[in-house]
Amino acid sequence: MKDLHKREETARLQDQNEYLTYLVETYGDMVYRLALARVRNPHDAEDIVQQVFLKLVKNIDRLETEEHVKAWLIKVTVNEGKSLFSSAWKRHTASIEESGEADELSLEPQDIRETSDILQAVFRLPERYRVVVHLYYYHDLSTEEIAKLLGRSNHTVRSQLSRGREKMRRDLKEVFEDV
Amino acid sequence: MFDSKYKEALENMKLRDSFKAGLLTKMKNAKKTSAPGRRLVLAVVAGVLVVSTSVALAANAATDGRLFRSMFVGNGYFQTQTTAGSSSAVTPAEVPTVTPTVTPTAAPAGKPTLTPTDVPEATPAVPAVTAAAAPTSKPAAQPTAALTGRTAPSVSANAGNDCVVVSWNKITNTDLVGYKVVASGSDSAPMYSENGYYAWITDAGTTSCTIHNGDGYTGGDVGTFSGGTSYYFSVTAIYGDEWQKIAGNAVQVTMPGDPVPLSDAVGRIAPSVNAVPGDNCVVVTWNRIDSADLVGYKVVASIQDSTPVYSENGYYKWITDADTTSCTIYNGDSYTSGDFGQFTGGQAYYFSVTAIYGSEWQKIAGNTVQAVMPGAAAAPDPEGTYPAVTLNDPALSGTTAALSWSRTTDTTGFNFYKVVVSTTDDTPVYPENGYVYYTTNPDELTYSYVPGGSGTYYISITAVYTANGTTHYIPSNVKTVVIP
């Protein structure tokens, strides 16, 4: 009886481990990119990814479908970034929130060189525009959905999106011609 | 078109395989330790969710059928999640919050000692193997601790199946930044940051941490946890912007299981570091580390912290070639994410090298050497040579303030005009106060600012110049706009 229980337990763990592997493979980069859009620093973004996925493990039994998982990951990544950078953590990572320029990005020089113009333009935006732009263009969310997610009004999100676009337009003339 | 270009650009931004592997190990370990009793509760919660989700599905089917979107738009789903989230701690039993444990006794050095707290009876269901609280020998808390209700965690540690479960009481103080789970093989009162850490937990509701045989440790003397070896476990609570560290009691427990094969842990050594002043530079050298696990060396420095370690203290250089065993740091070089931004002649720095090992990025700090950067103090920003612009009186029409300013008289090295606004700081300047608008065009001299509501707004234009790799921020005069 005990053995049976143990075998079931092992099988369940194996299944879950496979599911976890699948989720990391499928959504790891998505979470990483969203974290990167927030903090613009690969090391801090990795820290966020780790916290988000460890939190996912704790909550996974309550996320019924994969779509739940995906939505949950986006929501928590946005908030995880917030809690990481809201308090004392910030002091230890320079003025990431305040700095707005490519020359102050925490990406190492080789990272910046490898970064395309378009990413540099997005990363140069103030944080509040950057996340909106990322959610809108990478996750194809509507401004209404983004507003819910960030706890901002739809009007605010719309104006942040349009200001973000406006700022990038200068850097990215050819890309933006038809926007 | 932008969205496809943006997605394409992000394609290159990927998690490192080694990071994913390390993450998966941690996730699986975390999963293994969730208690069966808890699972029952979760099943009930999940059952409730199935019902609410089905409702959402049904409602959604009538529209565009995209459940994912309904997550955000449909009300309630995330609220349900959040409510349920409060019961999601891994610990089988939550230890009630204890009263402040730091007694400001008349310690000679003016620093109180920690009294080990009694762990309430209802602590973990696992039978205690060793739970003798070792008296902490280090001054761990500032006298203010008791006054502000910043308590030391009350820690227990129990051997499990091939692991040690460290648990502590939930700290409800809102100053809490997080918990550092620490261990040491030799120090009977380990605390962060002297003894490094195993895990950094920023969720106040997480009150346990499972450490497995073979897990790596960051900093400190542990290296890799190995079965049959006895360790002192503790938790250091971090409070407030100043990162006040308050150590909990320590519990000695032997890691169950087989010793970690030497081949896995061998060669993960701390670099042996030296730092010698040279001609307008400091040369940091260390021994070559011959370990297949070595990912690289981080050269670190600090003015304040006598034991600088990556990543807490940032880094100067990241070296991934194992054969590179020296690094020359010049007067005036910049530093990433530390307690200073630029090396300056005449200033003493603590230098060290942190070796990074394995997919889990185990960080092992080398010894520290203090050295004074030779040479003259790096010239203070020659601000006089970079012209400030002049902000004209804003023209207020309705709720829009039309701003205009004079063109910079020196476009060499000109980067940006930053429009800086503050409601509290009457001399707002970028980057301290952020900005509401910027332009790289030296001829763009106007901006329409829409204040967020009634109040007083201090507005200034910071001109940003870059020369020889140094950025200069030159603020203009300040104008005030009052929105009734």
Predicted local confidence at residue A102, as pLDDT: 33
Predicted local confidence at residue B247, as pLDDT: 93
The DSSP string of B341-379 is SB--TT-EEEEEEEEEETTTTEEEE---EEEEPPSSPPP
- Has residue B427 been placed in a domain? yes
B311 in A contact zone (CB under 8 Å): yes
Beta bridge partners of B146: none
Of B2, B46, B415, Cβ closest to residue A179: B2
* Residues B292 and B367 reside in one and the same domain: yes
Predicted local confidence at residue B232, as pLDDT: 94
Q: Do A64 and B42 touch (CB under 8 A)?
A: no
- Has residue B125 been placed in a domain? no
Predicted local confidence at residue B483, as pLDDT: 82
What is the DSSP pairing of strand B326-330 with strand B281-286?
antiparallel
- Has residue A71 been placed in a domain? yes
- Has residue A82 been placed in a domain? yes
* Residues A120 and A89 reside in one and the same domain: no
* Residues A33 and A65 reside in one and the same domain: yes
Find the CATH number of the domain harbouring A149: 1.10.10.10
Residues B270 and B366 sit within 8 Å (Cβ to Cβ): yes
- Has residue A109 been placed in a domain? no
B434 in A contact zone (CB under 8 Å): yes
B202 in A contact zone (CB under 8 Å): yes
Positive or negative CA dihedral for B139, B141, B144, B146? negative
Which residues on chain B are in Cβ contact (under 8 Å) with A172? 2
Find the CATH number of the domain harbouring B367: 2.60.40.10
Q: Which of A103, A125, A149 is the last residue of a domain?
A: A103
- Has residue A65 been placed in a domain? yes
* Residues B281 and B247 reside in one and the same domain: no
Of A92, A115, A118, Cβ closest to residue B312: A92
Predicted local confidence at residue B236, as pLDDT: 93
As for how many domains chain B has, the answer is 4
Predicted local confidence at residue A11, as pLDDT: 61
- Has residue B283 been placed in a domain? yes
* Residues B235 and B214 reside in one and the same domain: yes
Q: Which of A103, A138, A158 is the last residue of a domain?
A: A103
* Residues B189 and B293 reside in one and the same domain: no
* Residues B446 and B356 reside in one and the same domain: no
* Residues A97 and A153 reside in one and the same domain: no
In angstroms, what separates the C-alpha of B1 from chain A's closest C-alpha? Answer: 7
pTM: 0.34
* Residues A36 and A59 reside in one and the same domain: yes
- Domain span at A149: 116-179
* Residues B197 and B177 reside in one and the same domain: yes
* Residues A78 and A14 reside in one and the same domain: yes
* Residues A96 and A134 reside in one and the same domain: no
* Residues B410 and B442 reside in one and the same domain: yes
- Has residue A133 been placed in a domain? yes
Rounded Cα gap, residues B398 and A139, in angstroms: 37
* Residues A42 and A86 reside in one and the same domain: yes
In angstroms, what separates the C-alpha of A176 from chain B's closest C-alpha? Answer: 7
* Residues A74 and A141 reside in one and the same domain: no
DSSP 8-state code for residue B384: G
| Predicted interface score ipTM higher than 0.85 | no
* Residues A95 and A122 reside in one and the same domain: no
- Has residue B313 been placed in a domain? yes
Q: Which of A71, A103, A135 is the last residue of a domain?
A: A103
Q: What is the pLDDT along chain A (179 residues), one digit of tens a residue?
A: 445 566 666 666 567 777 888 889 889 999 999 988 888 777 778 888 988 998 898 888 788 777 788 888 988 888 765 555 443 333 333 333 333 333 334 444 334 444 567 787 888 788 788 889 999 988 888 888 888 888 888 888 998 898 888 888 776 765 555 44
Q: What is the pLDDT along chain B (484 residues), one digit of tens a residue?
A: 677 878 887 887 888 888 888 888 888 887 766 544 344 344 444 444 444 444 434 333 333 333 333 333 333 333 333 333 333 333 333 334 333 333 333 333 333 333 344 334 333 333 333 333 334 444 444 444 445 688 999 999 999 888 999 999 999 888 888 899 999 988 888 988 778 888 888 888 889 999 988 887 877 778 788 888 899 999 999 887 777 889 999 999 999 988 876 545 567 888 999 999 988 899 999 998 888 778 889 999 999 888 899 888 888 888 878 888 999 998 888 887 778 888 888 999 999 999 988 766 778 899 999 999 998 876 554 444 778 899 999 988 877 889 999 998 887 778 889 899 888 778 788 877 778 888 888 888 999 888 877 888 889 999 988 776 667 788 888 888 888 8
Q: Would you tell me the crossing angle of helices A2-39 and B17-32 to the nearest 10 degrees?
A: 140
Which residues on chain A are in Cβ contact (under 8 Å) with B431? 95, 98-100, 104
* Residues B347 and B394 reside in one and the same domain: no
Q: Which of B372, B399, B432 is the last residue of a domain?
A: B372
**Residues 6 or more apart in contact with residue A173 via CB below 8 angstroms:** none
Nearest CA in chain B to A54: B27
- Has residue A110 been placed in a domain? no
Distances (CA, A) of B480 to B194, B406, B453: 48, 17, 14
* Residues A136 and A158 reside in one and the same domain: yes
* Residues A2 and A86 reside in one and the same domain: yes
As for how many domains chain A has, the answer is 2
* Residues B142 and B259 reside in one and the same domain: yes
- Has residue B10 been placed in a domain? no
Of B2, B7, B20, Cβ closest to residue A175: B2
Beta bridge partners of A11: none
* Residues B396 and B320 reside in one and the same domain: no
Cis peptide bond prior to B52, omega within 30° of 0: no
Rounded Cα gap, residues B356 and B318, in angstroms: 10
- Has residue B446 been placed in a domain? yes
- Has residue B6 been placed in a domain? no
Which residue in B210, B220, B208, B200 sits closest to B255, CA to CA? B210
- Name the burial class of residue A62, with classes exposed (0-12), middle (13-18) and buried (19+) by CB atoms within 10 angstroms of its CB: buried
* Secondary structure, 3-state, chain A: CHHHHHHHHHHHHHHHHHHHHHHHHHHHHHHHHHHHHHHCCHHHHHHHHHHHHHHHHHHHHHCCCHHHHHHHHHHHHHHHHHHHHHCHHHHHCCCCCCCCCHHHCCCCHHHHHHCCHHHHHHHCCCHHHHHHHHHHHCCCCCHHHHHHHHCCCHHHHHHHHHHHHHHHHHHCHHHHCCC
* Residues A150 and A62 reside in one and the same domain: no
Rounded Cα gap, residues A98 and A94, in angstroms: 9
Q: Quick: pLDDT tens for A79-108.
A: 765 555 443 333 333 333 333 333 334 444
Q: Which of B225, B246, B263 is the last residue of a domain?
A: B263
B86 in A contact zone (CB under 8 Å): no
Which residue in A59, A22, A13, A52 sits closest to B46, CA to CA? A59
Find the CATH number of the domain harbouring A56: 1.10.1740.10
Return the H-helix or E-strand segment holding B6. Answer: helix B2-10
* Residues B77 and B140 reside in one and the same domain: no
- Has residue A111 been placed in a domain? no
- Has residue B92 been placed in a domain? no
Beta bridge partners of B184: B232
Which three-class secondary structure state does DSSP give residue B85? helix
- Domain span at B153: 133-263
* Residues B412 and B431 reside in one and the same domain: yes
Q: Which of B206, B233, B263 is the last residue of a domain?
A: B263
Of A28, A58, A70, Cβ closest to residue B20: A28
Which residues on chain A are in Cβ contact (under 8 Å) with B12? 114-116
